[in-house]
Amino acid sequence: MGLLAFVRSRVRPLRGPGAQPVTKGTFLVSPLQDIRAALAAIDIPAAEQALLDAESRREGVLLVGEYHDVIAAETEITKARIDRDRAIARTAQLEAQLVEAISADAHDGIRQRHEQAARLADETTKAIEVEYPNFAIRIIDLADRERRADEAIAAVMDEAISAGLDLPDIPTPSSRVWGRKYLRPLTFRERLSLPETDGNPAHGAASREVTMEAAFALGGVGQPPPVPVFQ
């Protein structure tokens, strides 16, 4: 096992959940971009080459150099080895931090999107509570107008037939709006599904949904109706 692989196997995460980032200028850095920059600045091959060069110079002075020359060469080797080992250790630690920082960055992104979704849900809830009742009233009014128009068309055409009058057919409002769109004829009011509001009952398919109060009354499931409090 190489030295870098050995150091990597011994490195542990340097920050626990919720820990504060380490500031710049210390041995370890925590922001994702700083970690990558620090890793890019480390040159292990250059440090290893410097150690080899120092060892080569020691061989050159070992037999022919003075005693102090050999000591100096040994010191240079020691310094080069420390520089190489520190580069390897720093790389392993930064790589461990990089894995952790990438995970933390992903978690931060999820938390931000969660907050955005929660805000959007809150805003939409308020919009529905404020705007929907008025929209529902207008849509129900359109549906009622369509019903009255369809009934008036049917009644007058029956009268015309009974009276022997050959009058042109009157297309219904829905057939005029959607007759060329859908294969099967439809009516606007029969396609509506509007949940109830404080001022309007449910309309269309929504009127056939079982409410919590009805479920509680029928089978004991759901929620009981609120009990009025009298002062």
Q: How high is the pLDDT of residue 174? A: 95
Q: Which stretches in the chain have pLDDT values below 50?
A: 6-7, 10-27, 29, 227-231
Kindly tell me the burial class for residue 153, based on how many C-beta atoms sit within 10 Å of its own C-beta (0-12, 13-18, 19 or more): middle
The whole-model pTM stands at 0.53
Q: How high is the pLDDT of residue 131? A: 93
Q: How high is the pLDDT of residue 224? A: 58
User: Any idea where the domains of the chain sit in the sequence?
Assistant: 12-121, 132-219
Summarised one tens digit per residue, pLDDT across range 120-147 is 999 999 999 999 999 999 999 999 999 9
Give the distance from CA 57 to its chain's centroid: 59
